[in-house]
């Protein structure tokens, strides 16, 4: 019997997603406003 569990696809991150990830890793307690300013949203 074959398993129906599917492996997750690996995601490719664009420039904005990389900035978001980097900023969250740097400071996970940043306010939403400061976060948006830093990542350009």
pLDDT tens, the chain, 41 aa long: 555 676 666 778 898 899 999 999 999 899 999 999 988 88
Q: Which tokens is 22 given?
A: 């980097």
Which helix (H) or strand (E) segment holds residue 17: the answer is: helix 15-26
Residue 25: per-residue pLDDT: 93
How far is Cα of residue 22 from the mean position of the Cα atoms in its chain? 8
SS3 assignment, position 22: helix
Sequential DSSP letters for 1-41 = ----PPPPPPPPP-HHHHHHHHHHHH-TT--HHHHHHHHT-
Residue extents of the structural domains in the chain? 12-41
What pTM value is reported for the model? Answer: 0.58
Q: Which tokens is 26 given?
A: 């740097």
């Amino acid at each position: 019997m074959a398993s129906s569990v599917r492996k997750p696809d690996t995601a490719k991150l664009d420039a904005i997603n990389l900035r978001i990830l980097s900023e969250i890793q740097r400071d996970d307690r940043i306010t939403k406003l400061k976060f948006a300013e830093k990542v350009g949203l």
